[in-house]
Each structure stands twice: as C-alpha cells, then as structure tokens.
Amino acid sequence: MDLILWRHADAEEGAIDLERNLTAKGRRQAEEVAAWLRKRLDDCEVVASPAARAQQTAEALKKKITTVKSLAPGASVSAILKAAGWPGGDRAVVVVGHQPDLGSAAAYLVCGHEADWRLKKGALWWIAGDGRPIVRAVVSPDLL
C-alpha cells in the first residue's frame, strides 16, 4: 500500500476553524503538490478532513474525494490509519488532513510510536508498505 499523508495548504485565519479557506498561496501550493503527485500516481483514493482548507487542497488532485469526519482537526493516529485502511494491499490512498495529527501519524508509522513531527503547510509524507513502512518521499511545496 502507498499511504500519502498530505497536510492542507496555507489557509486564511478565521474564527470558525472548519470554514477557513485556502489563501492564494495555499491554492498554488496545493496545485504544485497535486501536479507532483499526479505524475507519480496512476490511481489513488482520496480521503479528506471535512475542513474547507483540506477539501480545497484535496480538490487539486482532481479525483473523487471521500470526506471522513474523524479526520477533522484533532484526529487520532488510529482514526487516520482507519480512514486510510492501512495496511491495505496494493492501492494508494491520499489522506488530506491537519497538523499535528498527520505528523503524529508519520512518526507512528516510521518509528512505531507517536511523536511531535511537523509537516509544513502543503507538505506530504509518502509511506509504502504492507505493515512494515518504508518512506518513499517527503515533499514540501517550497521545494517544487
């Protein structure tokens, strides 16, 4: 399985957290990372937090999006892995969510325990494996 943990791109400030939209910078970040992913993924499932900024980031992939309420800000590692179906055979799943949730999930997969790993806005961790994770890529939009 290929599991891509993608943090939403740069978002506006706002009082209602789930309604915050991407900024112009965030839209560019999402497009750049999505273009990078499309070149490397033949097909994938996309699951995303219900937050507007995560939905807008996921939309850049131009794929069907499954919204998973348990991926909202504050998602647990177990909720992230369950939403992705990890480890799930020969498929690719992109999970679009939030920090620190995705950083904790990346640490858990790589090290076997949760840690305070940070993902920049718009960045992703690509982890492959059938239960024994292998880091395939770590990508930040400012490097594309």
Domains of the chain: 2-143 (3.40.50.1240)
- Which residue has better confidence, 129 or 72? 72
% of residues, the chain, pLDDT over 90: 92
Flag whether pLDDT at 139 surpasses 80. Answer: yes
Q: Which amino acid is at 117?
A: W
Rounded to an integer, what distance in angstroms lies between the CA atom of residue 61 and that of residue 47? 11
Q: Are 122 and 141 in contact (CB under 8 A)?
A: yes
The DSSP 8-state label assigned to residue 143 in this structure reads G
Model pLDDT for residues 35-62, shown as the tens digit of each residue? 999 999 989 999 999 999 999 999 999 9
Q: What is the pLDDT of residue 89?
A: 79
Q: Are 19 and 52 in contact (CB under 8 A)?
A: yes
Q: What is the pLDDT of residue 8?
A: 98
Token readout for 131 is 């239960």
Residues shown for the chain: 144
Rounded to an integer, what distance in angstroms lies between the CA atom of residue 67 and that of residue 16? 19
Flag whether pLDDT at 15 surpasses 90. Answer: no
